[in-house]
Structure 1
């Protein structure tokens, strides 16, 4: 399979400049060897803006006129809506029923048409809309443009911390971890890139062990509070992770909650559960990780206020 290259990621970096915020690395007061990459500071509150902006930038004029469509639990939908609005492109987002209302509201506020669908039907419905309207389907992760765009996080990490030893990155569909691993391993071969996912949605761990995509049904994955990480890998992302990811760690719901509280109270970052898993790995599974300068990717801040309140109670 043709994998995304460092050159692809660098081209994406050129495409997203001016729309996407170049987030800083934040040192932490509680861990002298831990830095945070706060993608929660993006205009739409998550890293997804990178891949979405790159994908829209790569559309030809005829495709732009027909618009874009995607399926998303929220963050990718917001990101594509924002990128499409910035480029003057119509956008439709198929959102699975049960997604946080705060995310649904924000997608609509960005000018996209939202259609709620059963979780198991999200891809099929998006493909139907694309077929009916001619809109370009921009998947949340199963797309080379998306992987390259998310990989720009890896470029920035190595630029800002050239001697980085460990990068911890959340894994849902695998687009982010595929892109980050691509950039980091190319620029800093000695660094270790570890994926992190919820124990209640550990299908990526199972997929890597099996050497093929293992799908957990939605009844299993919907048990985790980390709604952005309930998605399984694709053949494309599995191929990237099998070649470029050094390992994977699964964290419990209690560990995710504890990491969220630490990030809010001590790093002053508003984060959603999915964004806390990399920090949870460092806090609670340090003995499973290599030593050295470590960066945890904090992926988003689009949290339901009730969830945030329960963590801080």
Structure 2
């Protein structure tokens, strides 16, 4: 068995750090019809975000501004698409997920839309700013240790609960909802490359599926911070893999694993992985703020950072998904002021 083992308190057994397993079949690629249907559903709550020029020195970069969604993140698309496919009776039992960030906020927004309860499991170390943002949407936070959080996810602890659980990484309806981002990009512009931030892989899987279905010649580049390169590790090993994450401002993509169910779809739709130094992420956050007047979290700026790390002649006309703007205001101020 590769890699060290993590013992879960409470008799839940062992988790292999190097070979995560969810125990299910590989997540299927959403079809173009799935994504178009999701687009029609999401029109009830999500906005069609603009694709605007990056106002830096490179005129061939476009920004897909998912920060302009009602909750400030692309997650609203997928969570709503998933929730619409539950029966009213299922929704009335409540909806839940495992998230300390944008997924939990989207869940709360959608729960309010349907007037049902919501909750999320999250690490007990969650910063107050994130906790307050989640509870502002009416979500009940359930704090647990990181070990118990991963045990709950990997060992499907939600099956013993009445709440309808949203898998934040491998839910097909959520991936189809995320795919609407890619569909809109190709409807609005002709591009050579699309840059997408990668955490658990849902956004990249959805965008990649949509773009590949419409135009196979467009290159899909997944972008990760150098502190948490789980997708690159997985591609290097040829299987879903764990890494040991380090500090990064990209907390939304600071996911230390690609689960085995997600690996095949990511392998099929992502052409390249770019690993971005932390200083370039800071630069991208600053330039989005100062040049485009866009507030972005670190993970939200990852795609632009990936494009900035690539030779313009290699990437050509590029679209970067600015995925979210849930950033601690003090951290954001420090990053922006550092350029002054």
TM-score bracket for this pair, using the shorter chain length: over 0.9
- Asked if 1:200 corresponds to 2:224, the answer is no
Radius of gyration: which is bigger?
2
8 Å CA contact 1:66, 1:133 repeated in 2: no
Q: Work out which of the residue numbers 19, 35, 46 in structure 2 matches 1:9.
A: 35
Deviations 1:4-48 (A, max 9, x none): 221111121122112011100011222211110111111111111
- TM score, norm. by length of structure 1: 0.94
Please state how far the C-alpha of 1:129 moved relative to its aligned partner.
6.8
Deviations 1:130-178 (A, max 9, x none): 34431111021211111111111001000111x2111000000000000
8 Å CA contact 2:307, 2:315 repeated in 1: no
Question: What is the aligned partner in structure 1 of residue 165 from structure 2?
Answer: 137
- TM score, norm. by length of structure 2: 0.86
- Asked if 1:58 corresponds to 2:85, the answer is yes
Q: Could you say what secondary structure the match of 1:19 adopts?
A: coil
C-alpha distance in 2, partners of 1:304/1:289?
A: 35
Task: Go from structure 1 to structure 2 and tell me whether the alpha carbon gap of 1:56 and 1:123 turns closer, same or farther (over 3 Å shift).
Answer: farther
Q: Could you say what secondary structure the match of 2:274 adopts?
A: strand
Kindly report structure 1 stretches of 4+ aligned residues shifted beyond 4 Å.
125-129
CA-based RMSD: 1.7
Matches within 5 A, 1:1-313: 1=26, 2-30=28-56, 31-125=58-152, 130-161=158-189, 163-216=190-243, 220-231=244-255, 232-283=257-308, 285-287=309-311, 290-313=314-337
| Runs (5+) with no aligned partner, structure 1 | none
8 Å CA contact 2:288, 2:294 repeated in 1: yes
C-alpha distance in 1, partners of 2:252/2:246?
A: 10
C-alpha distance in 1, partners of 2:313/2:213?
A: 21
8 Å CA contact 1:20, 1:50 repeated in 2: yes
Structure with bigger helix share is 1
Question: What is the aligned partner in structure 1 of residue 14 from structure 2?
Answer: none
Q: Could you say what secondary structure the match of 1:197 adopts?
A: strand
